[in-house]
Amino acid sequence: MPFLAPLLLGGLVFASAPIIIHLLNRRRFKLVEWAPMRYLKLTLRTNRRRLQLEQWILLAIRTLVILLLIFAAARFYLTGNAAAAWLSLGGRTSRVILIDDSLSMGLKTAGQSALDRATDQAGQLIETLGTQDALTVATTSTLTAPMRRDSVMSSDEAAALAKQVRDLTPTESANNWAATLASLGDLLEGAAHSNKEVRLFTDRRAVGWSAEAAEQANRLVSLGVRLVIVDVGQGSEGNASLASFDQSAGVALVNTPIHFVAKIDRRRPAVQGRLRDPRRRRRRNHRQAARHRRGPARHRTQGQPHLRHARPAHRRAAAAR
């Protein structure tokens, strides 16, 4: 929990004061020789439960008051995103927001690209982060030259940065996660605070992940970095058909990049039906053959005795021969 003066939390010992005072009070009492004992006992007997409950509630309130006082003295604070702070922060943090801006992030589903979703969430995060943490914001294509590097921002600056992040567009690059994570590790080694967190917004394409990338990820974790991967991709794409494939430039020249625009139509859903099981078919055939050997069922032919031993026409002809 966030405290500005955690040392003062030692004062929590005082929370036991009401209990100690109660115990001391028990030692310091007045002795009264009492005559109407009968009515005193009657009172205590009939009110015992209520009295006990009251005592406990009182003790709880007294303890709570002291706890709150000590919390106030230790300067307990909650930032704007109180819940997030409560759950994820343990003191000041060096935070890296890394946004995957490879070309695949431009894939639109339901009118929104993965990058749109990523920048949206990242922007929100930047705006709601407190002014306590050092923040680095970068894209995978420009990791070596981040938009912000380990900087503490006022809320105005944060808003400006969030806008800047929301304006990001996909770049024509592919991911090489091994290199990205390696330079991320280098970046975090020189971070200001000991608490480190990386939030990686990506659509989790398989391209670029390798054994080496996994190694780099493990290195990050061993550095004590909290690595959070936020998936902004949309699950399986299902059926897709190539609607058109055009060449942007009329002529393809040697040693010159050329652009192709492929339009993929994904409107038809994938077939979700069950595949035919060949064994099932075999079993069915087997059942039919058995029924045939037994001959027709009796009840089906009841009342038609002339049909009981009837043979199909071609069999009859063969028998006659």
Binding stretches for another protein (CB under 8 A): 25-26, 28-44, 46-47, 51, 54-55
User: Nearest approach, Cβ of 69 to another protein (angstroms)?
Assistant: 24
Q: Which residues pair with 262 in a beta bridge?
A: 245
Nearer to another protein, 36 or 235 (CB): 36
User: Nearest approach, Cβ of 39 to another protein (angstroms)?
Assistant: 5
User: Nearest approach, Cβ of 52 to another protein (angstroms)?
Assistant: 10
Cβ within 8 Å of residue 63, ≥6 positions away: 15, 16, 18, 19
Longest dimension (CA), the chain: 132
CA nearest to 101, candidates 204, 163, 206, 175: 175
User: Nearest approach, Cβ of 24 to another protein (angstroms)?
Assistant: 10
Cα separation, 84 vs 94, in Å, equals 15
Nearer to another protein, 57 or 214 (CB): 57
Cα separation, 86 vs 79, in Å, equals 9
Sign of CA dihedral 229, 233, 239, 243: negative
User: Nearest approach, Cβ of 152 to another protein (angstroms)?
Assistant: 54
Cβ within 8 Å of residue 78, ≥6 positions away: 2, 85, 86
- Are 252 and 223 in contact, with CB atoms under 8 Å apart? no
Cβ within 8 Å of residue 22, ≥6 positions away: 59
Residues in the chain: 321
The residue to which tokens 């009939």 are assigned:
46
Amino acid at 283: R
User: Nearest approach, Cβ of 49 to another protein (angstroms)?
Assistant: 12
Nearer to another protein, 36 or 269 (CB): 36
The distance in angstroms from the start CA to the end CA of the chain is 101
User: Nearest approach, Cβ of 61 to another protein (angstroms)?
Assistant: 15
Q: Which residues pair with 242 in a beta bridge?
A: 264
Neighbours of 6 (CB within 10 A): 13
Nearer to another protein, 44 or 78 (CB): 44
User: Nearest approach, Cβ of 60 to another protein (angstroms)?
Assistant: 16
Nearer to another protein, 41 or 283 (CB): 41
Nearer to another protein, 56 or 86 (CB): 56
What tokens does 193 get?
A: 């605070």
Nearer to another protein, 40 or 249 (CB): 40
Nearer to another protein, 50 or 259 (CB): 50
